[in-house]
Amino acid sequence: MALLQGPVYEAYRTELLKRYKHLLRSLGKNIPKEKIKLVRDAFDMAARAHEGTVRKSGEPYIFHPLAVAEAAVSELGLGATSVVCALLHDVVEDTDITLEDIEHRFGKDVANIIDGLTKISTVFENVDKDHSIQAENFKKMLLTLGDDLRVILIKLCDRLHNMRTLGSVSENTKLKIASETLFIYAPLAHRLGLNAVKTEMEDLSLKFTNPTLYREISDKLADTKNVRQRYVKEFIDPLKNELELSGLNIVEIKGRPKSIYSIVKKMEKQQIPFEEVYDAFAIRVIVDSPLFLEKADCWRVYSIISDMYRSHTNRLRDWLSHPKSNGYSALHTTVLGPKGRWVEVQIRSKRMDDIAERGLAAHWRYKSGGKSVSTPQDMAFDNWLDAVKETLSNSDLSALDLVSEFRTSLLGEEIYIFTPRGDVKALPAGSTALDFAFAIHTELGKRTLGAKVNNKLVSIQSSLKNGDIVEILTTSKNRVTRDWLDVAKTARAKSKIREALKAERTKKAAQGRLILERLFRKHQLQFTDSNIKKLMHHFKYQVGAEFFHSVAEGQIRLNRELLLKIVLKKTVEPNDQAETLPTKANSTATNKRKKSDQIIIGDDYEMPYALSKCCHPVPGDPIFGFITVGEGVKIHRTTCPNATRLMSQYGYRIIPAQWRGDGYQKAFDTAIAVRGIDDVGIVSRITDIISKDMEVNMKSINISSNEDGTFGGKIEVMIYDLLHLEQLIAKIKATHKYIEVMRED
């Protein structure tokens, strides 16, 4: 506390006030008085709370939050509320001040942001080498993307200042913080469109993780500076004249060296020395135009440049019409400059440049007044943020998977894919047709059969190229399989597929349970937990849901003998059946049962009936009887398309009916529908399964190819019961990836 007076303390107070005044100047003049009062209070609170503490560098601690606030204003363009939060960002964690104190003085918004910042800041200090803890922490940070975006923006300023002052910490901490920054903060900054922040973070990370290489490249850049500047002048001078004559309001035209980090990446990727990185700089032309003219003006600049220098036909990037989803918008072209060198030229408006450097989020949402102009850039960014929030909220991925998937989506280049109607979706490069389907709509994605890319039929795993026109071919049914997790490349599609698989498993398990229950009933066994346990034990299953799932998938084969052996622990001779299992029905009937014994109508075992032709019921189907005029009782499936009508109009003629549930000798005819993408030999493969593998008789088969490359048709088969039918369907489905099989209604 000796610091609280004397000349040293005086000097500190003077410096502190100087920096605080600078912050106020950066905030600008248009800030309302009440807001300035809040900033003042936050500054006082922080200064008092941190008083007496110093950073590793020996600097008073309060200079850190001040610097973070300064960066939030002058580098990201954030407003007064963010300044308040930046000033207070470390007090809850490091001092006696509580969140309640903050809410009491500054309100709910500020308290929420500080809360978010406190939660992610505890993160990195306690991390050792355990990757899963690390990932858990990164996940925590990504989750704040779903809250107030200012949390992450201020966090980025915090990290930026920590990186700028990293020199004074221990070697170990340096490495840890620098690699974290490269791993997650720089990609995040990139994705949020904060180009300047991203570039500085990357360069600083390199500086601390590989100081030798960093110094080597920065020295070489300095050595070649004069040569480069002379070349740039040679390139620009004639251009300047032309642009001036055009009447366009050009605010900047100059050569900019690329970042050290990006030069190093290029050298590594192309395995070339520094001297061969020909595009170590780019020419940037910035034109000041009103919003409605900016695109047209950029194209005029392009036209003037390409009149003077031959442009590379394959190197025109039009992010004017379709901004990147981080909000980046510009026109990039590569032209043949003096001395036969290819030079990249970036053309953009002043507004686009501002967004490119400081980020869209800062630009449009938190600018004072907060009124937003809706540009395609805003929308692209909004869409991205919505997709992020959705992925994060639905994801039950492990933290490690989430972070690595997310990171891929943060870093990658984007491609633009069109629907046949001309709508456009931005996807990460490497995305497949399946990703595109899920990007359009989850329900569409789940039913994807294949796609047409530029009118050519392709499978779901074919990767898309920039500008492709893609039409998704679907079926009426959910087709999600586990393989799709490899086919999909985007985090969004993957998380949707995982969700669908989970739902499907639950449904399948319920089906399996039902199949098993029927089988038990058929053999007069008690469907109890302990009997199920015996089966699970026999087939080596621990989890009920998994066991039922396998039953439904037909992976568990249970015939009568095996079932009785496991459940009753006794061996049954196949020809013993009738005696071992006397049933009410069996005791009065012979094995060669007539058709009329198979269904009990009401509680009458003898009533004659006929199976309806419209829905082909088979044993196991839920059924009902309908009393017809003159034809006796007709049996329909409860899911028969006619059932609803019959039940609603002639309710009094409906009578309950049920299968007897044992030893059906007779096969029932029913029909299945198949659809899919055409493939040589598919029909013979299907018929092989039916007649050879399953030994099922076919009554008829009718399959035809369609012009769009799909096929479809109907097969009438003779099967014994529902289980039998389900097994057949599962087998046919397994023949081909792009086939859909269902029972015909």
Stretch that binds Mn ion, among 109-117, 151-159, 322-330, 482-490 (CB under 5 A): 151-159
Stretch that binds Mn ion, among 82-90, 328-336, 638-646, 679-687 (CB under 5 A): 82-90
Closer of 90 and 202 to Mn ion (Cβ): 90
Closer of 90 and 721 to Mn ion (Cβ): 90
Ordered strands of the 456-458 beta sheet: 456-458, 448-453, 470-474
In this structure, the number of other CB atoms found within 10 A of the CB of residue 170 comes to 9
Number of H helices, E strands in the chain: 32, 19
The nearest distance, CB 95 to Mn ion, in angstroms, is 12
Stretch that binds Mn ion, among 87-95, 459-467, 570-578, 602-610 (CB under 5 A): 87-95
Closer of 65 and 620 to Mn ion (Cβ): 65
Closer of 92 and 739 to Mn ion (Cβ): 92
Site string for Mn ion, 567-606 (x = CB under 5 A): ----------------------------------------
What token pair was written down for 280?
Answer: 């170590």
Closer of 82 and 586 to Mn ion (Cβ): 82
Closer of 88 and 362 to Mn ion (Cβ): 88
Instruction: Identify residue 477 by its one-letter amino acid code.
Output: K
Phi, psi torsion values for 559, nearest 5 degrees: -100, 180
Residue position matching structure tokens 């032209």: 335
> Which residues are bridge partners to 456 per DSSP?
453
- The one-character DSSP state at 365 is T
> Which residues are bridge partners to 348 per DSSP?
286
The nearest distance, CB 64 to Mn ion, in angstroms, is 6
- CA distances for 251 relative to 32, 304, 349, 417, 483, angstroms: 31, 16, 9, 34, 53
Closest CA to 566 of 586, 547, 585, 587: 547
Terminal-residue alpha carbon distance, the chain: 86
What token pair was written down for 255?
Answer: 């050569």
In this structure, the number of other CB atoms found within 10 A of the CB of residue 31 comes to 16
Q: How far is CA 485 from the centre of its chain?
A: 12
The nearest distance, CB 79 to Mn ion, in angstroms, is 20
Stretch that binds Mn ion, among 154-162, 316-324, 417-425, 645-653 (CB under 5 A): 154-162
| Count of residues that interact with Mn ion, criterion CB under 5 A | 2
Closer of 169 and 444 to Mn ion (Cβ): 169
Q: What is the 3-state secondary structure (H, E, C) of 201-213?
A: HHHHHHHHHCHHH
Closer of 59 and 279 to Mn ion (Cβ): 59
The nearest distance, CB 122 to Mn ion, in angstroms, is 12
In this structure, the number of other CB atoms found within 10 A of the CB of residue 236 comes to 17
Closest CA to 517 of 507, 500, 531, 506: 531
Residue position matching structure tokens 């901004």: 323
Q: Are 565 and 571 in contact (CB under 8 A)?
A: yes
> Which residues are bridge partners to 414 per DSSP?
428
- Positions annotated as catalytic residues are 93-94
Q: Are 306 and 295 in contact (CB under 8 A)?
A: no
What is d(CA 359, CA 629) in angstroms, rounded to the nearest whole number?
77
Helix (H) / strand (E) element for 195: namely helix 195-209
Phi, psi torsion values for 418, nearest 5 degrees: -105, 145
Closer of 90 and 357 to Mn ion (Cβ): 90
Closer of 161 and 660 to Mn ion (Cβ): 161
Closest CA to 602 of 643, 655, 651, 647: 655
The nearest distance, CB 38 to Mn ion, in angstroms, is 20
Q: Which long-range contacts (CB under 8 A, 24 or more apart) does 166-175 make?
A: 166/204, 166/208, 167/57, 168/55, 168/56, 168/57, 168/58, 169/56, 174/208, 175/208, 175/209
- The one-character DSSP state at 327 is S
Q: Is 90 in the site for Mn ion (CB under 5 A)?
A: yes
Q: Are 405 and 491 in contact (CB under 8 A)?
A: yes
Closest CA to 207 of 195, 215, 199: 215
Closer of 93 and 147 to Mn ion (Cβ): 93
Closest CA to 193 of 362, 387, 70, 346: 362
Closer of 158 and 297 to Mn ion (Cβ): 158
Residues in the chain: 745
Site string for Mn ion, 338-377 (x = CB under 5 A): ----------------------------------------
The nearest distance, CB 156 to Mn ion, in angstroms, is 11
Stretch that binds Mn ion, among 90-98, 228-236, 578-586, 614-622 (CB under 5 A): 90-98
The nearest distance, CB 209 to Mn ion, in angstroms, is 21
Stretch that binds Mn ion, among 153-161, 182-190, 472-480, 517-525 (CB under 5 A): 153-161
Closer of 90 and 726 to Mn ion (Cβ): 90
Q: Are 387 and 101 in contact (CB under 8 A)?
A: no
The nearest distance, CB 158 to Mn ion, in angstroms, is 4
Which residue's Cβ lies closest to Mn ion? 158
What is d(CA 725, CA 381) in angstroms, rounded to the nearest whole number?
50
- Choosing from 158, 202, 203, 721, the residue that interacts with Mn ion (CB under 5 A) is 158
> Which residues are bridge partners to 469 per DSSP?
418
What is d(CA 128, CA 148) in angstroms, rounded to the nearest whole number?
29
Helix (H) / strand (E) element for 253: namely strand 250-257
The nearest distance, CB 102 to Mn ion, in angstroms, is 16
What token pair was written down for 603?
Answer: 């509680």
Q: Which long-range contacts (CB under 8 A, 24 or more apart) does 367-374 make?
A: 367/77, 367/79, 368/28, 368/30, 368/31, 368/79, 368/80, 373/291
Stretch that binds Mn ion, among 156-164, 255-263, 418-426, 638-646 (CB under 5 A): 156-164
Stretch that binds Mn ion, among 152-160, 185-193, 237-245, 678-686 (CB under 5 A): 152-160
Stretch that binds Mn ion, among 155-163, 328-336, 472-480, 514-522 (CB under 5 A): 155-163
Binding to Mn ion, residues 285-344 (CB under 5 A): none
Where does this chain bind Mn ion (CB under 5 A)?
A: 90, 158
